[in-house]
Amino acid sequence: MEYMTKFQHMPREIQQCIENCSECHQLCLATVYHCMELGGKYAMPAQITLLLDCAESCQTNANFLLRNSELQGLTAALCADSCTRCAQACERLANGDRQLLDCAKICRFTSTTCDRMVRLASTIPLESLPVFQAS
């Protein structure tokens, strides 16, 4: 119950990014399975790796946002980049395949919301984060 209360009090923009990342994570994993079933060029290691990278970066970014990590701007930037790359690869490969087109669409949408998180986080100077402070 405490989690839901905290989630409900997050800014809507952050909630939306978490939801998009979760949806993108799930769809990328489903698309891995779809590509493996299709075989051939769809199951090439580079394609599967992009899908898995995108899924993992989405899950990681959602987790960082949920716990309001000081590093969320960094994970959002990684997520935006991996989503863009995955969308491009899915679009190139799709040839009308609905699963790949849907995956590309959610990847593009998620990339956009992650870019917003990067801009939001960029208002905090990187030097102020503990990981970047000199010992």
Tell me, yes or no, whether 4 lies in a domain. Answer: no
Residue 109 has pLDDT above 90, yes or no: yes
Q: What is the pLDDT of residues 13-44, one digit of tens each?
A: 999 999 999 999 999 999 999 999 999 999 99
Question: 130 in a domain, yes or no?
Answer: no
Q: At 121, is the pLDDT very low, low, confident or very high (cuts 50, 70, 90)? A: confident
How far is Cα 26 from Cα 22, in angstroms, rounded to an integer? 6
Task: Look at residue 69 and tell me if it is in a domain.
Answer: yes
CATH of the domain at 55: 1.20.1270.360
Residue 6 lies in a domain: no
Kindly report each contact of residues 97-103 with a partner whose C-beta sits within 8 Å and lies 24 or more positions away, as own/partner.
97/38, 99/30, 99/31, 99/34, 100/31, 100/34, 100/35, 100/42, 102/27, 103/27, 103/28, 103/31, 103/51
Between residues 67 and 107, which one has the greater pLDDT? 107
Residue 125 pLDDT grade (very low, low, confident, very high; cuts 50, 70, 90): low
- Residue 94, domain extent: 13-124
Q: What is the pTM of this model?
A: 0.84
**Pair of tokens at residue 25:** 């994570």
Residue 25 placed within a domain: yes
**Residue 1 within any structural domain of the chain:** no
Q: Which pLDDT does position 77 carry in this prediction? A: 97
Within a domain: 91: yes
- Residue 70 vs residue 93, higher pLDDT: 93
**Structural domains in the chain (count):** 1
Residue 124 or residue 84, greater confidence: 84
135 found inside a domain: no
Mean of pLDDT values over 42-66 = 98
pLDDT, position 104:
99
Q: What's the mean per-residue pLDDT of the chain? A: 89
